[in-house]
Structure 1
């Protein structure tokens, strides 16, 4: 076996990666039975619980499968890419196009399904966004995203909420970069307050068409700005 003892750092991650290499490089072909847990633990210099977690991660990636009473076997030599991993590899403009579809639909649903509690949360989020306009770009973006999350939550569709949550980390970093590169808040610290206020008002009035139109316009304007900034020479 070509494995070497691991260094003390995130051991589960290291163990997972080392075992993954044995599979993806063909040293453990499809159909191979993995060595027993105690042998792997001794070879890698880690505890059996670490090996167990690493094998669980490999199973989640679709590389191995446990067969009751027989052991753990390699079933594939390429990783099944997860949705978050695909998002991280996607261009932000592509992500924004998908966000446009999801969030515009959520705004329409929110206008028809919002509860008094949702309205209270929306107004609180809008006020928090205004207060954050005196802070850093990161603080402002966090407040902006929180308001959008509140709109999605008011749609009362768990699937939409889950999908939007997956977008948040990538959106956050990209929007902070956009504000800094485009200097959008230099002369307008509370950039976009009018459109966000109109969005909350439309949801409160149960006007789904207006809510969709307002949000679509805001997202398309941001997407256009992202594309403009990316086209500029570095």
Structure 2
């Protein structure tokens, strides 16, 4: 039996409950014992257990369902997204881009409007005009891919793209500087072929071309 000895008790109780969840004592979706059971197990009052549950609910681990009880909704605390992105290496960023942009390209081929296609073409022209400096080229490239993702009409894909855009920008700059080359005619042609597939409503080709292109960016490829 775990007993808590130091202040603040609520934080300690939350840590103790989280440790038991991590150890597999309660499975995902399982209901926790009631306050009258947990409180004596931890040697604290029911109000402390309530506060500990509130803290873990705020961290996404537990959820209180009115009239039903407290349930496990995650097996660990989700790490801060910004910290995850800071540690992500180039290949991890590329793989995340593949996950988002391949599907977005396919959806854009099906859902894009004429106005969105014109925006994609404008972004491609701007990308072509920014071949001289790495940072300008990466910014123009991201603007093009952002236009494609927006044309997918999926707010979650757009949110994901925007969420790791700063880390993606940094990773692409690092990669292109490492390789010492960017903005080649072949690279521009690949992007034009993706756009052509989107314009032709060819979802399969748009996805395949996007995946093939992004895979070439992996440093381990």
Above 0.5 in TM-score?
yes
Equivalent pairs counted in the alignment come to 159
Query: How far apart in 2 are the matches of 1:193 and 1:184?
Result: 13
How far has the Cα of 1:177 moved from its partner?
1.2
**Partner residue of 2:212?**
217
Question: Matched residues in 2 for 1:60 and 1:150: separation?
Answer: 37
- 8 Å Cα contact 2:112-2:151 kept in structure 1: yes
Task: Indicate the residue corresponding to 2:167 in structure 1.
Answer: 170
Correspondence list, 1:1-234, <5 A? 28-30=8-10, 62=59, 80-134=78-132, 136-185=133-182, 189=184, 192-223=187-218, 226-227=219-220
Cα distance in 1 for residues equivalent to 2:81 and 2:173 = 23
Residues 74-131 of structure 1: per-residue CA shift (max 9 Å, x gap): xxxx975223332222333123223212210110000000001111100000000011
- Per the normalisation by structure 1, the TM-score is 0.61
CA contact 2:93–2:171 (8 Å) conserved in 1: no
Structure 1 pair 61/82, CA: closer, same or farther in 2 (3 Å)? farther
Q: Secondary structure at the match of 1:184?
A: coil
**TM-score, normalised with respect to structure 2:** 0.64
Output the aligned Cα RMSD. 2.7
SS in 2 for 1:156: coil
